[in-house]
Amino acid sequence: MTPPELSVIIPVFNEETGLQTLFDRLYPALDALGTSYEIVFINDGSRDRSAAMLRGQFQVRPDVTRVILFAANAGQHMAIMAGFERCRGDIAVTIDADLQNPPEEIGNLVAKMREGHDYVGSIRRDRQDTAFRRYASRAMNRFRENITRIKMTDQGCMLRAYSRSIVDAINSCREVSTFIPALAYSFAQRPTEIEVAHEERHAGESKYSLYALIRLNFDLMTGFSLVPLQAFSMAGIVLSLLSALFVVFLALRRFVVGPEAEGVFTLFGIVFFLIGIVLFGVGLIGEYVGRIYLQVRHRPRYLIDAVLEQAVSDGSASGAKIGSVLSSKQDSST
């Protein structure tokens, strides 16, 4: 079996309401491309009927469908990692299961890749999300632009294409908390971006709570930059210089004007403000230390319950066994 040209990787977490529509649009869109492809679904420990629906779809199109079933939720980016580790295509395209990015756009990404780019990012045209999400995302994009070397207009859009060499590079990374588009960008030699359409979530709700979004952005910032930590040493230097000057000023004032008792509460105000900064700094160090801790424990990044795929026949045999299910309860990746 020769590897397909295109692998489409789709993380799925509690998407039972939208999966059927996804199947109905995705397969025709890919068939229309006229190239060889495979679709790798990763069920990220869904607690609804998603896993059963993916099993069903594997029976319908076993020739191009592969399904990885996680034993527990590991997060969208770990699900994509698992997809990368198993995909066989020359071009890997990631897309969300909720149809916010139309599958019909995949052809445009593939066309760009064929022009010789090794990474095609995307920018959402008229983004259909809440005003809060759009505003927060713009702010985070700007912040990331300043503290990392990663240039992405729209970091949140997951409809992206990666070359085989980038997928291999990502597969060689062992990190536990990461942000795939940024990691890929750091390996890319000829990156580019295109505009893609964006629709409202087709069914169900966003799987990211505000808390999960904040965690994800910490992954992005701490995973690709030390600037947040360094900012504290810089602020420390500036503050100690300023307070040294202030002490000199107070000493001189005491000799010239005499002792002072006023302004005590102003001083409290300043002190509380500085304590706030210090606490934030400690918390920030905690974020980095926490990630180091996760990493050194060397626990598996995700646990696979089962993998559904056709047996890969060695040689030229065309009669690959259909529907062979490889179930590996202990399979995991560290």
Q: Which of 6, 8, 12, 51 binds ligand UDP (CB under 6 A)?
A: 12
189 binds, among Mg ion, ligand UDP, none (CB under 5 to 8 A by kind): none
* Residues in a beta bridge with 199: none
13 binds, among Mg ion, ligand UDP, none (CB under 5 to 8 A by kind): ligand UDP
Q: Which of 68, 69, 97, 184 binds ligand UDP (CB under 6 A)?
A: 97
41: buried, middle or exposed (CB in 10 Å: 19+, 13-18, 0-12)?
A: buried
Least separation, in Å, of the C-beta of 125 and ligand UDP?
15
Residue 1 token pair? 């079996």
59 binds, among ligand UDP, Mg ion, none (CB under 5 to 8 A by kind): none
Question: C-alpha dihedral over 240, 243, 249, 255, to 10 degrees?
Answer: -100
Closest CA to 117 of 179, 171, 194, 34: 194
Closest CA to 333 of 306, 285, 299, 307: 299
Q: CB-wise, 31 or 205, nearer to ligand UDP? A: 205
- Residues from 77 through 96 that contact ligand UDP (CB under 6 A): 79, 96
Helix axes 210-224, 131-147, angle to 10 degrees: 10
219 binds, among Mg ion, ligand UDP, none (CB under 5 to 8 A by kind): none
Least separation, in Å, of the C-beta of 282 and ligand UDP?
28
Give the dihedral sign, CA 120/123/129/130. positive
Q: CB-wise, 195 or 287, nearer to Mg ion? A: 195
Q: CB-wise, 117 or 302, nearer to ligand UDP? A: 302
How many whole angstroms separate alpha carbon 179 and alpha carbon 75?
Answer: 11
| C-alpha dist (Å) from residue 81 to 35, 125, 128 | 24, 27, 27
233 binds, among ligand UDP, Mg ion, none (CB under 5 to 8 A by kind): none
Least separation, in Å, of the C-beta of 272 and ligand UDP?
36
Number of residues that bind ligand UDP (CB under 6 A): 16
- Residues from 85 through 114 that contact Mg ion (CB under 5 A): 96, 98, 100
Least separation, in Å, of the C-beta of 27 and ligand UDP?
17
- Residues from 114 through 133 that contact ligand UDP (CB under 6 A): none
Q: Which of 208, 235, 277, 333 binds ligand UDP (CB under 6 A)?
A: 208
**82 half-sphere exposure, CB direction, 13 A CA radius:** 33
- Residues from 41 through 80 that contact ligand UDP (CB under 6 A): 44, 73, 75-76, 79
Asked if 166 and 91 count as a contact pair (C-beta separation under 8 A), the reply is no
Asked if 282 and 236 count as a contact pair (C-beta separation under 8 A), the reply is no
Q: Which of 88, 117, 160, 207 binds ligand UDP (CB under 6 A)?
A: 207
For 206, residues 6+ apart whose C-beta sits below 8 A from its C-beta are none
- How far is Cα of residue 23 from the mean position of the Cα atoms in its chain? 23
Least separation, in Å, of the C-beta of 11 and ligand UDP?
3
Least separation, in Å, of the C-beta of 93 and Mg ion?
16
Strand blocks (E) in 150-216: 160-163, 191-196
How many whole angstroms separate alpha carbon 44 and alpha carbon 327?
Answer: 16
Least separation, in Å, of the C-beta of 129 and ligand UDP?
7
143 binds, among Mg ion, ligand UDP, none (CB under 5 to 8 A by kind): none
Q: By CB under 5 A, name the binding residues for Mg ion.
A: 96, 98, 100
Q: By CB under 6 A, name the binding residues for ligand UDP.
A: 11-13, 15, 44, 73, 75-76, 79, 96-98, 100, 206-208
